[in-house]
């Protein structure tokens, strides 16, 4: 059986020439934001990557194939599919054989990016260890994926809907380098500072590219997590976001939400509780991550040429 991979010509061309490419996930489009802001966000993130000198490759599952790069029509179709599947490592193969439209999480996007030869990926926030994981065992498949798939992922840290100290502990156990960009603190999505120190810090894209290359030289299988803090002007004050998070968590527990429904449920409830304010910041931080990812992809491409 050949790989069911369709690469958009613009992306295939960039990969063949060795020019920078940045992968983007699609669960953020189908399960992370409402329509039409989700599709608008996806387009402006692609533009930001182009302005940064790289080619964007949004990844999703359509018609039984992994699509690496979506045409404008495909993006519209994805953004408007009401019940697109949310596919992580566990369900990627079943999603493909079903022939349905599926969105890829951070974990599944890393797998697909790797298959296509893309080394850098930008998103908003990664999944992690959920609060109460000591009883629910809810730990996102994004964490073990970072330990085994060699893609550098740029995110704004992780949301405070998660247990951030436990998330950092699991990343350390799994051997994932967690690199805060330009500061000592580990960022917490809507805020620049989670109150936790980041295990590692780097101040330039070139350093991140060098570490990425060194892991390859050492034969280490996993990727890197780059935690890029939201810009100060886009932050949400703790007194606004924290009550929304607490309420969303309480609602999820009261309604018995579990497994892969937890993260989309929390995101949707926080969106409504903040009157959409969470979304504005969410879009701003994804753009910020896209710009840094384009720069890192550029540095990785430069190293190849040198």
For the annotated catalytic residues, the residue numbers are 25, 159
Residues of this chain, 128-187, that bind Mn ion according to CB under 5 A:
138
Look up residue 260 and give its DSSP letter.
G
Burial class (CB in 10 A: 0-12, 13-18, 19+), 86: buried
Q: Quick one: 46 or 138, whose CB is closer to Mn ion?
A: 138
Residue 142 interacts with which of ligand PSU, Mn ion, none, CB < 5 to 8 Å by class: ligand PSU
Q: How far is Cα 115 from Cα 228, in angstroms, rounded to an integer?
A: 25
Q: Quick one: 105 or 198, whose CB is closer to ligand PSU?
A: 105
**CB of residue 34 to ligand PSU, shortest distance in Å:** 12
- Is the peptide bond between 36 and the residue preceding it cis, with omega within 30 degrees of 0? yes
- Residue 230's H or E segment, with its range, is none
Q: Quick one: 58 or 105, whose CB is closer to ligand PSU?
A: 105
Q: Applying CB under 6 A, which residues contact ligand PSU?
A: 25, 27-28, 32, 88, 105-106, 124-125, 127, 140-142, 159, 260, 263, 267
The position carrying tokens 């599926």 is 102
Residue 285 interacts with which of Mn ion, ligand PSU, none, CB < 5 to 8 Å by class: none
**CB of residue 283 to ligand PSU, shortest distance in Å:** 12
**CB of residue 261 to ligand PSU, shortest distance in Å:** 8
Residue 229 interacts with which of ligand PSU, Mn ion, none, CB < 5 to 8 Å by class: none
> What is the Cβ-side half-sphere exposure of residue 140, based on CA atoms within 13 angstroms?
33
**CB of residue 106 to Mn ion, shortest distance in Å:** 12
Q: How far is Cα 164 from Cα 171, in angstroms, rounded to an integer?
A: 11
Q: Quick one: 137 or 232, whose CB is closer to Mn ion?
A: 137
The position carrying tokens 């020439």 is 17
- Could you tell me which of 91, 123, 145 has the C-alpha nearest to residue 259? 91
Residue 163 interacts with which of ligand PSU, Mn ion, none, CB < 5 to 8 Å by class: none
Other CB atoms within a 10 A radius of the CB of residue 40 amount to 13
Q: Is 95 helix (H, G, I), strand (E, B) or coil?
A: helix
Residues near Mn ion, by CB under 5 A: 138
């Amino acid at each position: 059986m050949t790989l069911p991979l369709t690469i958009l010509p613009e992306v295939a061309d960039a990969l063949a020439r060795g020019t920078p490419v940045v992968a983007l996930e699609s669960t953020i489009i189908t399960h992370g934001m409402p329509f039409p802001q989700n599709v608008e966000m996806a387009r402006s993130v692609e533009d930001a990557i182009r302005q940064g000198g790289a080619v964007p490759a949004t990844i999703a599952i359509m018609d039984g194939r992994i699509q690496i790069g979506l045409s404008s029509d495909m993006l519209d179709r994805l953004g408007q599919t009401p019940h697109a599947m949310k596919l992580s490592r566990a369900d990627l193969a079943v999603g493909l054989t079903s022939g349905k439209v599926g969105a890829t999480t951070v974990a599944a996007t890393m797998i697909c990016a790797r298959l296509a030869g893309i080394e850098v990926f930008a998103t908003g926030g990664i999944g992690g260890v959920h609060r109460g994981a000591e009883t629910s065992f809810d730990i996102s498949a994004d964490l073990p994926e970072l330990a085994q798939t060699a893609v550098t992922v740029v995110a704004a840290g992780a949301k405070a809907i998660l247990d951030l100290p436990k998330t950092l502990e699991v990343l350390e156990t799994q051997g994932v380098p967690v690199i805060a960009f330009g500061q000592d603190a580990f960022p917490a999505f809507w805020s620049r500072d989670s109150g936790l120190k980041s295990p590692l810090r780097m101040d330039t894209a070139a350093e991140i590219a060098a570490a990425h290359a060194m892991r390859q030289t050492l034969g280490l299988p996993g990727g890197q997590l780059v935690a890029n803090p939201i810009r100060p002007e886009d932050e949400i004050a703790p007194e606004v976001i924290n009550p929304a998070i607490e309420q969303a968590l309480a609602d999820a527990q009261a309604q018995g939400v579990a497994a892969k429904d937890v993260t989309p449920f929390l995101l949707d409830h926080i969106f409504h509780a903040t009157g959409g304010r969470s979304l504005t910041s969410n879009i701003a931080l994804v753009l910020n991550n896209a710009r840094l990812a384009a720069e890192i992809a550029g540095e990785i491409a430069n190293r190849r040429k040198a």
